[in-house]
Amino acid sequence: MNTTLFLQQCLTGISLGGAYALIAIGYTLVYGILRLINFAHGDIFMMAGYFMIFAMAVFPWYVSIPIVLIATVILGVLIERTAYKPLRSAPRMSVMISAIGVSYLLQNLATYLFTALPKGYPEIPILKKIYNFGGISASLVTFLTPVITIVLVFLLLQLIGHTKVGMAMRAVSKDYETAQLMGIRIDRTISFTFAVGSLLAGVGSILYFTDRMTVFPFSGSLPGLKCFVAAVIGGIGSIPGAVVGGFILGIGETVLVAMGYSTFSDAFTFILLIIMLLIRPTGIFGEKVTDKV
């Protein structure tokens, strides 16, 4: 493998990793505030793919993108309101099962509405345009994904660390009752968290599917699972952890494909998960397990 090709692969890996990171953040945010693994998150990402197909059938891309993002946010918040909120005081296992139910519901709904056949993902011409940087040529989306990821992560960290609503999110994630005593509305804060997670999944979906070119009802399953693993590897609950986990998986997977082991590229994710759980169950950036009752 020559240097250019190597760099080319690295770029592909970083780009895939960026999309993974954006989705992994959704898992980590929701886990942080509800101690819930939102199994439906991957399917929200899949639905965002379909939203784009339908939006682009009518509107130009610059109108479609905001529509898709808004629709994805609405879907995420709606799921929280209908499937998780009524279970706020139920055992955590019930909420988890509800999440699995929503995941199947979305997959079957998509199959029913859009058939199981893969649909072509619309091309956004400027994203697909090939650029050349120092011998590496790739489409704009490949160069853009890591940049967008870093910018969004930076904004998210600002939001959580330095704004009132961010402070409320951190307070709610620690102590529901005392947060209420401060005047914070728990449900609103949780909805906001789902909105942010879904927004990032929407962005991730545009970047990911532009590269993949098709969407089908199970498009969200494997990426969803991988991004959950990314969040666990990074330390679930930690945003930098989700980002690092996403990049590790994206790069690792791409390197394996480049070396000719593409059959193992999915297995790699789970082997990494097992190793991580064995040597450092709390993940790279994970804190001590503070179980919430």
Partner 1 sequence: MLKVENLKVNYGGIEAVKGISFEVPKGEIVTLIGANGAGKSTTLRTITGLVRAREGSISLEGEVITGLDTPAIIGRGITLVPEGRRVFPDLTVLENMKIGAYLRNDSLEDDIAHCYELFPRLKERSWQMAGTLSGGEQQMLAVARALMSKPKLIMMDEPSLGLAPLIVKGIFDIIREINKSGVTVLLIEQNANMALQIADRAYVMETGRITMSGTGAELLANEDVRAAYLGKGK
Q: Footprint of partner 1 on this chain (CB under 8 A)?
A: 164, 167-168, 170-171, 174-175, 177-178, 180-185
Token output for 114: 């859009």
Residues in CB range of 61: below 8 A, 6 or more apart: 122, 124, 125, 126
Smallest gap from Cβ 37 to partner 1, in A, equals 22
Smallest gap from Cβ 227 to partner 1, in A, equals 25
Nearer to partner 1, 10 or 159 (CB): 159
**Cα gap 68→72, rounded to integer Å:** 6
Helix axes 3-34, 140-162, angle to 10 degrees: 30
Smallest gap from Cβ 167 to partner 1, in A, equals 5
Smallest gap from Cβ 289 to partner 1, in A, equals 15
Residue 120 belongs to what H/E stretch? strand 119-120
Nearer to partner 1, 35 or 212 (CB): 35
Smallest gap from Cβ 174 to partner 1, in A, equals 6
Smallest gap from Cβ 170 to partner 1, in A, equals 6
**Cα gap 35→32, rounded to integer Å:** 6
Nearer to partner 1, 202 or 234 (CB): 234
**Cα gap 90→198, rounded to integer Å:** 24
Nearer to partner 1, 124 or 236 (CB): 236
One-letter amino acid identity for 219? S
Nearer to partner 1, 124 or 239 (CB): 239
β 214-215/119-120 pair status: antiparallel
Nearer to partner 1, 182 or 274 (CB): 182
Burial 130-151 (b: 16+ CB within 10 A, else e): eeeeeebebbbbbbbbbebbee
Distances from the Cα of 183 to the Cα of 87, 176, 178, 265, angstroms: 22, 11, 9, 48
Smallest gap from Cβ 122 to partner 1, in A, equals 43
Residue with tokens 């940049």: 147
Nearer to partner 1, 85 or 212 (CB): 85
Torsion over CA: 170, 176, 180, 185 (sign): positive
Nearer to partner 1, 189 or 269 (CB): 189
Smallest gap from Cβ 86 to partner 1, in A, equals 16
On whether the CB atoms of residues 241 and 28 are closer than 8 A, the answer is yes
Instruction: Compute CA 39 distance to the chain's CA centroid, rounded to the nearest angstrom.
Output: 11
